[in-house]
Amino acid sequence: MNRREFLQFLGVSGVLASLPACTTQTSKIPPVLPHLPPITEDKVITVSGLDYKILIRWQDAINSKDKFGHNNDFIAFHPLEKDRGIMWVNHEYVTPLFIRGTARTRANIDQEMTEVGGSLLEVKKENDQWQVVKDSAYNRRLNGNTKIPFAWNTKIRGSTHGIGTMGNCAGGYTPWGTFLTCEENYDMFWGERTSNGVMDPNCWLQWNKYYPRDPEHYGWVVEVEPLTGKSKKLVSLGRCAHECAAVTKGKNGKVVAYTGDDAAYEHLYKFISDSEDSLEKGNLYVANLEKGQWISLRREDHPILMKKFKNQTDIQIYVREAAKLVGATPLDRPEDIEFDPLTGNVLIALTNNKTANNYHGSILKIMEEGNDPASLTFKHGTFLTGGTETGFACPDNLLFDPKGNLWFTTDIAGGSANKGPYEPFGNNGLFVFLRSGTFAGEVIRVASAPTDAEFTGPCFSPDYKTLFLSVQHPGEYSESLNKLSSTWPDGGIPKPAVITVEGPLLDKIISGKL
């Protein structure tokens, strides 16, 4: 397809007028497409017209007792006033080598528990530069020791609350101004248990060796109030390896949340609330792409669920098992989800599925019937496919700007980067699929991440003049402290950080004048 046909296929007829008409004139010098080639350097490198600054890095103090945690991921911004707001940043997991070494002692695990969860930070822009307001009353941490209640009418494995939040990958922001942070790979901390009670205690970080907590207390979407840090685990959205929770409203005003289970052959879920301003009560559904249906996960709707599970709470806890019993479509690691402002479609990053020889991933497009998020029927297609033709592999976090340009990061695992099927792509990067302007229909790489790292959590400031971006897990495949694969950003032990990206190219892209 040429670009015009491609945009028509995507359903973006409104931007076709911005494409240049055919002409035989050669007197004008054609504009140059800004684009970085694949890069393997241990640096953050931005395309001409963009610059970055470090906002905060691992171990920076945020108040008199708390420090910024490790492996920062999802970022969300709650505005307070012009050029000032509260930022939420996830801390997904730890790279043990950089905490206290790889030994699995109680002291090491105690330290690791303080490094995960999330940070609430007051940030403001002064003298054209964003900075964290040190010792702000809003600055606080949620970590592996924070007591968080379950928002549910019955106990979860005998408790009204869980201790700690961890595995926090992506998230969301609600219409009523709260943050959603999603507990993804909780099994790396606590192991896992099936609905039949079979426990698999094997887990990478072995926290359960000293703290035998119930794995069922993790794997939830957690709602956090920006001003107070008050939090709750939303049992209503089910328990799985949640990558994100993208929230919108149906045409009836009720809240709708989409979430993906980031594992090979897992599923896409949608929760339709009973309320216009709460996610605590409603119905959970799972997608069957072949039928174009959202299938209810309510126990009373399926004899097979009535037979398998004794109550709805068990379905919420073991939602993966329930989804498979009712015919959910297995997917290639559904990760981040965003809503296309030009079409209303729901876009889902399907990062990859190596066991199915899908190394490059794609972006799935869900077209709800009547363009209504509360609909229970839909059509689907592919929005973009990774590979050498498009220049990217393994799409992960997604973000739209007001012009409908799709910004996205990639997640090629550090141990696979620049090898085999990933050799042509260099380090992970930040990309933009352009929807308007001279280069509509093109995918460009605008930033490259350090060695072993990925960019995560892209988030715009309210005026769209700044893109906040996490640099996560640089150097995580280092052999030892004496043989580091990355020394970003300070020349020693690598430190995850949040950066700000600004510049005239950002303004051109968002204004559609590129």
**From CA 42, how far away is CA 492, in angstroms rounded?**
12
* pLDDT value of residue 4: 46
* pLDDT value of residue 84: 98
Distance of CA 370 to the CA centre of its chain: 27
String of DSSP letters for 10-46? HT-GGGGGGSPPP----SSPPPPPP-PPP--SSS-EE
* pLDDT value of residue 28: 55
Tokens at residue 51, please?
A: 């610059």
Q: Is this structure's pTM higher than 0.85? A: yes
The Cα angle at residue 401 between residues 437 and 9, in degrees rounded to 5: 60
The set of long-range contacts for 230-233, using a CB threshold of 8 Å and a minimum separation of 24, is 231/142, 231/146, 231/148, 231/165, 232/148, 232/149, 232/150, 232/151, 233/148, 233/149, 233/150, 233/151, 233/162, 233/165
The residues, any chain, with a CB within 8 Å of residue 108's CB and separated by 6 or more, are 96, 99, 100, 101
Distance of CA 490 to the CA centre of its chain: 26
Closest CA to 411 of 340, 488, 353, 331: 353
Backbone angles phi, psi at 416, to 5 degrees: -110, -15
The residues, any chain, with a CB within 8 Å of residue 65's CB and separated by 6 or more, are none
pLDDT tens across the length of the chain (514 residues): 444 445 544 554 444 433 443 333 334 555 789 999 999 999 999 999 999 999 999 999 999 999 999 999 999 999 999 999 999 999 999 999 999 999 999 999 999 999 999 999 999 999 999 999 998 999 999 999 999 999 999 999 999 999 999 999 999 999 999 999 999 999 999 999 999 999 988 899 999 999 999 999 999 999 999 999 999 999 999 999 999 999 999 999 999 999 999 999 999 999 999 999 999 999 999 999 999 999 999 999 999 999 999 999 999 999 999 999 999 999 999 999 999 999 999 999 999 999 999 999 999 999 999 999 999 999 999 999 999 999 999 999 999 999 999 999 999 998 899 999 999 999 999 999 999 888 999 999 999 999 999 999 999 999 999 999 999 999 999 999 999 999 999 999 999 999 999 999 999 999 988 8
Contact 334, 262 (CB under 8 A): yes
* pLDDT value of residue 202: 84
* pLDDT value of residue 232: 98
Q: Which ranges of 303-389 would DSSP assign to H, the alpha helix?
A: 303-308, 312-317, 319-325
**From CA 6, how far away is CA 13, in angstroms rounded?**
10
**From CA 328, how far away is CA 267, in angstroms rounded?**
7
In CATH terms, the superfamily for domain 3-511 is TolB, C-terminal domain (2.120.10.30)
Amino acid identity, position 118: G
**From CA 334, how far away is CA 289, in angstroms rounded?**
13
> Would residue 457 be called left, alpha or beta, if left means φ above 0 and alpha means ψ between -120 and 50 degrees?
left
